[in-house]
Amino acid sequence: MTRKLLMGALALALALPVVVAAQNAQKKAPAAAGPKPSIEIPRMAYDAGQVFEQEKYEYSFVVRNRGNADLLISDVKPGCGCTVATYDKVISPGEEGKIHLAVDGARVSGEFNKSADVLTNDPDHPHLTISIGGHEIPYVNVIPEGTMYLHGRFGEAVEKDLTITSNEKDLDFKVTGVTSNIDDKITYKTEAGTKPGEYTVKVFKNPKLPSLSTYGSLIVHTNSKKSPDTTLQVHVMTKGSITLSPTTLNFGEVQFTAQNAPPVTATKAIVVTKATGKFQIKEVTVSNPNFKTALEPMTPGQQYRVQVTFTPPVRKQSKQTESGEMIIHTDDPQEPALRVQLLARSI
């Protein structure tokens, strides 16, 4: 009896690992794979290369579904407000769709690269990035680029040169003329360059301009049908020999007068200096009667102090501002009127 019990226990002990192993194997066995989409974008980045200025740069990216379930594109998020994306939201198994990116040409220049994030239900590739780039070039080259600055003192000769060429290889390029909307402030002439199709535009500041600072446009006309007119910005400045320190008078926050209370005045000063030569201040005028001036010679014929006293008016509202313009009239023919802005705010 005892022998039979021992044999049975031994058989049970030998069988138990086999059962446990079978159960563990069953637990570890992978579940049968269900249907899922699989995205493929053969070309993730599009480089347009060297391109002329355009209204927009665009490309359609091919999107394939290599899986066995519908591919859902939930969103395409451009990284820049200059880029617009349109796309197919559902692509069936074995089919292909498109993602179209369009870049606003007015908002790029030179080398550019714009990207967009693609969000999908592909478990292996839920997030991909595509991009469109290129190198935008103008039809007409202007060197140097950007705003032309013609700055100088009265009587000083100031000249800047522009080199004009074309990027259109099949064009017998010609500069046909130059015009401007500030002909009283600049003059210009066109000369042939050192190479065929190259021109130099020489621009001169009017040396007799009084002290001023102003912008204008210079338009280069060419025989390019794609870009017949090229507009350049010009900044003209005549630097005065008379300096103001400070250039504006800001009284900051001042206690404006309460009803029937005596005003509390505030005084500031501005120093007017001419480094070379002599000058006289003939008079000082102010547009706002709450600002009064007093002139004091420091070095007669060379330096003066103008004291400005502000008398706060009666407060009429919680936040109140008083402003005006002070004009310092001189006998200098190049700088007959120096203008200073005045400002005071209520506490």
101-115, 155-169, 212-226, 234-248: which range is least confident on average?
Answer: 234-248
- Quick one: 267 and 318 in the same domain? yes
- In order of 113, 241, 253, 267, the CA distances from 261 in angstroms are 66, 45, 18, 19
Residue 1 has pLDDT above 70, yes or no: no
Check residue 18 and give its pLDDT.
43
Helix and strand numbers, DSSP H then E, in the chain: 1, 25
Q: If we measure between CA atoms, which residue out of 161, 150, 169, 211 comes closest to residue 52?
A: 169
Residue 196 has pLDDT above 70, yes or no: yes
Q: Which domain holds residue 115?
A: 39-137
The pLDDT tens digits of the residues spanning 318-336 come to 788 889 999 999 998 888 8
Average pLDDT of the segment spanning 289-309: 94
Residue 20 has pLDDT above 70, yes or no: no
In a domain, 29, yes or no: no
Domain end point (choices 199, 220, 239) = 239
- Quick one: 131 and 151 in the same domain? no
- Quick one: 168 and 78 in the same domain? no
- Quick one: 255 and 184 in the same domain? no
Phi–psi pair at 281, nearest 5 degrees: -90, 120
Q: If we measure between CA atoms, which residue out of 48, 185, 17 comes closest to residue 114?
A: 48
Residue 128 has pLDDT above 60, yes or no: yes
Q: What is the number of structural domains in the chain?
A: 3
Domain end point (choices 137, 166, 185) = 137
* pLDDT band per the 50, 70, 90 thresholds, residue 303: very high
- Quick one: 210 and 178 in the same domain? yes
Q: Which residues are CB-neighbours of 104 under 8 A, at least 6 positions away?
A: 55, 56, 82, 83, 84
Residue 125 has pLDDT above 90, yes or no: yes
In a domain, 160, yes or no: yes
Residue 118 has pLDDT above 90, yes or no: yes
Check residue 24 and give its pLDDT.
53
The pLDDT tens digits of the residues spanning 33-92 come to 689 999 999 999 999 999 998 889 999 999 999 999 999 999 999 999 999 999 999 999
- Quick one: 257 and 204 in the same domain? no
Query: Residue 187: which CATH number?
Result: 2.60.40.10
In a domain, 217, yes or no: yes
- Quick one: 109 and 43 in the same domain? yes
The pLDDT tens digits of the residues spanning 251-298 come to 988 888 777 778 888 999 999 999 888 999 999 999 999 999 999 999
Contact 205, 186 (CB under 8 A): yes
What percent of the chain is predicted at pLDDT more than 70?
90
- Quick one: 250 and 204 in the same domain? no
Check residue 210 and give its pLDDT.
77
Residue 129 has pLDDT above 80, yes or no: yes
- Quick one: 229 and 262 in the same domain? no
Distance CA 184, CA 182 (A): 5
- Quick one: 232 and 293 in the same domain? no
In a domain, 8, yes or no: no
- Quick one: 296 and 233 in the same domain? no
- Quick one: 216 and 286 in the same domain? no
Check residue 236 and give its pLDDT.
92
Domain end point (choices 239, 254, 289) = 239
Residue 212 has pLDDT above 50, yes or no: yes
Residue 143 has pLDDT above 50, yes or no: yes
pTM of the full structure: 0.59
